[in-house]
Amino acid sequence: MKLEESKANCYIDDMIAVLQDGKDLLHRQDAQQAVRKLQDLKKKDFIITTEDFEDILRQIKDEMAKVLKSTENAATKSEEEYEDLKNKLTELKAEMSEAEKERTEMKRKFTVLETEQKEEIKRLKVEDSPEQKQLQYEKAKSGCRTQLIEHYRSEVLKVSAIPLQPDEENYNFSDVYIRPTITSKIEKNRGESEEKEIESMSEIFTKNGDPQKFIYVVGDAGSGKSSFCKYLINCWCMAHSDGHNENDEFEGVKEMKKFDFMFYISLRHNINIRSIQEMLEMRYDKIKNLSKLLENDSEKIIILLDGLDEWSFDSETRNEFQAGLPERDFTKKYTIVTTSRPWKIHSLRVSNREIHQLLKLKGFDKTYEKK
């Protein structure tokens, strides 16, 4: 029971060869019965149980009975024959005692094995339960989120105070960022519209209580489109970190708590890559369970596409409703924030169906200019 299969079979073959010895054992019924059991053992369908030991003990007891019966008649036999019978009886008693010990040990081993099997089955059932699987998935999500935050803070949110004159010292983004004035287009009667200043982050991502999935942020060169993306990243990192104490007057941190994940893509580094899915897989290939996150949690994911005016694709996209735009999977419920210069949006003639929210960056007001 403790041997490797190949080694056990080697031993069994040796036993069978001895038991089939033509001079003596080949014609003995008990020897050939043993051969059959050994052959069964090799087939893996022969099970050694305590019942086998019971059979052995019964055979020993029967033999002892015969010996005892013989000793009753020993008085008429010679002294030498009587001594032989006594010796045989002693040997049988010793054999029976040894068999009893082996049976007891076998029962003990079976009990231990049965207990271990029950514990293992119990453990596997727990690990395979929907609750345990969900717990493991949530743990994996938390690890991915931590990995993203560390990446953003070390690679994205370390910036120069003056972008046009980068120095050797980089600062935390929140120490040097000034939020620009942001306006949204409000439709009025008879096709007229007006611009309204955005006063909180919730006004960017919701309208009349409904979530806005396709948000476009436009502004001229140097108006702060990329910095606005970093502002969103900074708010998201703080929303999912312990102990942040930064002023949240724009309620950006509060709004970002609604989203489990944020993925930033610089479109000028992804020219001629057709779909958002491909961009994510290339940029975030080190994130474990990325495909599962994108499949199961798309409703709580923000994707930042920075610089639409710097992106192009050589051939037509596969979806007529997304002409000139990176392709997205319509079965997913991502929130997608795209930054661009105004001319690109106009040249593509992006439909209202594609634009749920159109924001404009207006630069700093007088108060911020002085600051």
Q: How far apart are CA 91 and CA 103, in angstroms?
A: 18
pLDDT of residue 121: 78
Angle at alpha carbon of residue 228, lines to 225 and 231, rounded to 5°: 160
End-to-end alpha carbon distance in the chain: 82
Structure tokens belonging to residue 268: 């000028």
pLDDT of residue 55: 78
Q: To which residue do tokens 């994108």 refer? A: 294
Cβ atoms of residues 195 and 185 within 8 Å = yes
pLDDT of residue 239: 92
pTM above 0.75, yes or no: no
pLDDT of residue 319: 56
Per-residue HEC secondary structure of the chain comes to: CCCCHHHHHHHHHHHHHHHCCCCCHHHCHHHHHHHHHHHHHHCCCCCCCHHHHHHHHHHHHHHHHHHHHHHHCHHHCCHHHHHHHHHHHHHHHHHHHHHHHHHHHHHHHHHHHHHHHHHHHHHHHHHCCHHHHHHHHHHHHHHHHHHHHHHHHHHHCEECCCCCCCCCCCEEHHHHCCCCCEEEEEECHHHCEEEEECCCCHHHHEECCEECCEEEEECCCCCCHHHHHHHHHHHHHHHCCCCCCCCCCCCHHHHHCCCCEEEEEEHHHCCCCCEHHHHHHHHCCCCCCHHHHHHHCHHHEEEEEECHHHCCCCCCCCCHHHCCCCECCCCCCCEEEEEECHHHHHHHCCCCCCCCEEEEECCCCHHHHHC
Q: How far apart are CA 269 and CA 279, in angstroms?
A: 10
Where exactly are the structural domains of the chain?
Answer: 5-127, 141-153+180-370
Q: How far apart are CA 28 and CA 107, in angstroms?
A: 32
Interhelix angle for 50-72 vs 79-127, to 10°?
Answer: 170
Widest pairwise Cα distance in the chain: 134
| CA distances in angstroms from 120 to 47, 49, 110, listed in the order given | 22, 22, 15
CA dihedral 22, 25, 29, 34 (to 10 degrees): -110
Burial class (CB in 10 A: 0-12, 13-18, 19+), 201: buried
Residues 6+ apart with CB under 8 A from 358: 184, 185, 216, 218, 345
Q: How far apart are CA 111 and CA 221, in angstroms?
A: 78
pLDDT of residue 182: 93
For the chain, 371 residues long, give each residue's pLDDT as a single digit of tens.
677 888 888 999 999 888 888 777 888 888 888 888 888 888 765 566 666 667 777 887 888 888 777 766 655 666 777 788 888 888 888 888 888 888 888 888 888 888 888 888 777 776 667 777 778 888 888 889 999 999 999 889 888 777 666 666 778 888 888 888 999 987 777 767 788 899 999 999 998 889 999 999 999 988 889 999 999 999 999 999 876 666 778 899 999 999 999 999 999 999 889 899 999 999 998 887 888 888 888 899 999 999 999 998 776 655 555 667 898 888 889 999 999 999 998 888 887 778 899 999 988 767 777 77
pLDDT of residue 232: 96
pLDDT of residue 314: 72
The CATH number that domain 141-153+180-370 falls under is: 3.40.50
Cβ atoms of residues 308 and 343 within 8 Å = no
